[in-house]
Amino acid sequence: MLPVAVRKVLGLKPGMRVNIEVDRKAARITLASTTAAATLEDVQSILRYDGPRVAIDKMRVTGDEK
């Protein structure tokens, strides 16, 4: 927890996230991004497919049933 005086100076409200970078005996506190950017590893883990290859004409689209 950050001291009340620090929270007031930074304008922090309950639930707000911060980044704290420590360098030797100093610390830098910044507001965390509200939308974190996805890393390349995040995207690759989403797109990872270990199954057999499927030809495009054999693929089916879910949620497009008529």
Going by pLDDT thresholds of 50, 70 and 90, the confidence category of residue 1 is: confident
Are 22 and 1 a contacting pair, CB within 8 Å? no
pLDDT at 26: 94
Q: What is the rounded CA–CA span in Å between residue 13 and residue 7?
A: 7
pLDDT tens sequence across 7-65: 899 899 888 889 999 999 999 998 887 776 778 888 888 887 788 888 888 887 777 55
pLDDT at 5: 92
Q: Kindly state the tokens that stand for 40.
A: 């390349």
pLDDT at 64: 59
Residue 66 has pLDDT above 60, yes or no: no
